[in-house]
Amino acid sequence: MSQTEFLSGLVERVTYHNMDTGYCVLRIKVEKQKDFVTVVGHANAISAGEFINASGEWVHDRNYGPQFKASFLKACAPTTEEGIEKYLGSGLIKGIGPVYAKKLVQAFGLNVFDVIENMPASLKTVAGIGSHRASLIIKGWQDQKAIREIMLFLHQHGISTARAVRIYKAYGAEAIRAITEDPYCLARDIRGIGFKSADQIAQKVGLAKDSPLRVRAGITHILLKATEEGHCGLPEKDLLSGVEQTLEVPSSIIQEALGRELDKGELIRDLLEGEAGIFLKGLYYAEFNTARLLRELSKGSLPWGDLGVEQEISWSEEKLGFSLAQSQKEALIKALSSKVMVITGGPGAGKTTLIKSLLTILAASKLKIMLCAPTGRAAKRLTETTGLMAKTIHRLLETEPGSHRFKRGPDHPLDCDLLVVDEVSMIDVPLMNSLLKALPLKTALVLVGDADQLPSVGPGDVLKALLQSNALPVVTLTEIFRQSAQSRIILNAHRVNQGKMPLETASEPSCDFYFIRARDPEDCRQKLIDVVQNRIPKKFGVHAITDIQVLCPMNRGSLGARLLNIDLQKALNPFSDLKIDRFGFTYGIGDKVMQTTNNYDKDVYNGDIGFIRGIDAEAQELMIEFEEKSVTYDFGELDEVALAYATTIHKAQGSEYPVIVIPFMMQHFPMLKRNLLYTGITRGKSLVVVIGEKKAMAIAVKDHHTKRKYTKLKDWLEKPER
């Protein structure tokens, strides 16, 4: 049995700190030791300059050498001038970076904390500190003081303080009162704090295990967890068993709490696939309203009136300079005679040509036409292919800063005669409901999507419900045209969709699809980095960071997006002048990043890709340049951003990249599905490279089963009467 040892020292550098788990890697200056010591352990919050006391054991890591593995680690405020300088210079307080930390310590010595707290006017006696910087320092210190109180409160109640800044921003001075009265508000209001953490606090502040507040929160938690998996509701029996297993309270108490929530109208009970189901009120009515609004829109006269369809089609062919196939002509006739319709088909089947012909005909009638798509990249592609400006759905509906609401709605509708929506497979029920509410009844609607791609990440499966219900006219394009058939990307995408293995790499120089075999995960990782860093840029003349996108089946594992991002960052952007560590990632100038959640205040949305163009350590701000704008983030907001050298195939839905590289190994077994591989391949515009095992690809090609989603939209579309 290892003997416990003790170690104390000054934190010279925080090499790594995961603020979700508390795991940290520290470089410690220990008295009477020449070299720094590496300490690994867990700490709620840690900064350079603090003094730590730790107990644990020495271990030898094969990659990093000797380390002190701490089973207990406690940090305290620095008491030396050297420690205070490092502490203030670590970016903890806005307005103080390494330069001003040194000046403040030189001016006030060990009394610097007392000066900031009680004699802030004295700050302006330091060279370079004027009124503006002094106010930044004072406010930063006050914020930190409030945050430290919250941190202390949370620490006393057994929870990580990683989200203290967000808690303070959400509740301000009322934070501790709000948490004490209803700990579950944290799970509802604070991104990154789940039910489990809130439940720990609830029990620490004395809330009974069978408290109605806890049980009601548990019911909501299980339903919200289901929406994260794409469901709009749950069978009642599954909900009850899930709550009972999570809360460990008798079913009678759960049923009583469920009855109260149903009586209050917060939850809805209705049939779900032939049995009793429970729905969150908002989602239930979002599905119901989506079906109702689609039916209402489909009625009435066409905005463009009666057209000589045959003549219009001939005119559009002459104007655009190409002839339509018979299947496309039939689809166009159907589109011109339908007020609401769905167009679906795979890559190379002529969806773009059909939409372009339709818009050419209708634009000549002086109609007001709008185009939109779920993501910025999809909207940009729609603009390029049609020649008309397309927007993201969020920007089309005009998000209101400070809320998750849209300015556009029934009282302020969109002014258009025709709306074309692309990549409908990505759209979840709440967003589709919001879009439909903003359309006046006079508007015609064309919904375009590929039914064989992955469904929306959010709740519901809108496109699938539309196709299965037969409630609206549908055009399904299946013919692959000659020019598209020459692309191995398109050919192999359709082969995968038909349950066939992709063709091996062709010998011709113009081949746009390659499969590279890998023996094992490490071989795959090394080949992937070499392909991205060297082989593709040299052979095809593309830029590794801006033009190549690595798409992973999953986030976890050595070939998951998270770890590959770290490897690719080291390979592609190793010389950044300035870097910061936050939330388990290192961010540097030039890094490729992705927004991972909708931020209505900043007008950036899940899936938006940008590049870091500036880091201000003293202001604790980072600037990211997206396609349409530059956006500033506080360091504490960087859990909304992830490195994007690699991302998941799910996150890439609706996007198209010049070059994509896909690792595909047995390691990804849980995600080896046909629609995942198909979606990944179809994201590539000019070149697709798959690196992996043929066995993994064969499993994916054979597995055509899609994930089940509990939803009522198909029922509402088929049977509108309640």
What region, left, alpha or beta, does residue 91 occupy, with left being phi > 0 and alpha being psi -120 to 50 degrees?
Answer: left
Average pLDDT of the residues in 650-654: 85
Written as six digits, the tokens of 274 are 């032939």
Written as six digits, the tokens of 542 are 């593309």
With contact defined as beta carbons under 8 Å apart, do 377 and 655 qualify?
A: yes
With contact defined as beta carbons under 8 Å apart, do 529 and 571 qualify?
A: yes
Please give the residue that has the higher pLDDT: either 640 or 436.
436
Q: Which of 598, 644, 548 is nearest to 430 (CA)?
A: 598
**pLDDT per position as a tens digit, 424-466:** 999 999 999 999 999 999 999 999 999 888 888 889 999 999 9
Sign, CA torsion 692/697/698/703:
positive
Q: How confident is the model at residue 89 (pLDDT cuts 50, 70, 90)?
A: confident
Strands 65-76 and 37-42: parallel
- Rg of the chain over all Cα atoms, to the nearest angstrom: 29
Place of tokens 């729905």: 279
How far is 119 from 134, CA to CA, in rounded Å?
11
Please give the residue that has the higher pLDDT: either 16 or 343.
343
**pLDDT per position as a tens digit, 523-568:** 999 999 999 999 999 999 999 999 999 999 999 899 999 999 999 9
DSSP 8-state code for residue 549:
E
pTM higher than the cut 0.85: no
State the burial class of residue 542 (Cβ atoms within 10 Å of its Cβ: 0-12, 13-18, 19+): middle
What one-letter code names the amino acid at 575? F
Residue 28's DSSP bridge partners are 11, 37
pLDDT at residue 161 above 50? no
Q: How confident is the model at residue 479 (pLDDT cuts 50, 70, 90)?
A: confident
> Residue 165 to residues 19, 78, 94, 144, 523: CA-CA distances in angstroms?
12, 22, 13, 9, 41
Please give the residue that has the higher pLDDT: either 88 or 645.
645
Neighbours of 419 (CB within 10 A): 23
How far is 98 from 25, CA to CA, in rounded Å?
21
**pLDDT per position as a tens digit, 173-210:** 788 888 888 999 988 888 778 898 889 888 888 889 99
% of the chain exceeding 70 in pLDDT: 93
Sign, CA torsion 227/229/235/239:
negative
Strands 340-345 and 474-477: parallel
Sign, CA torsion 649/651/654/659:
negative
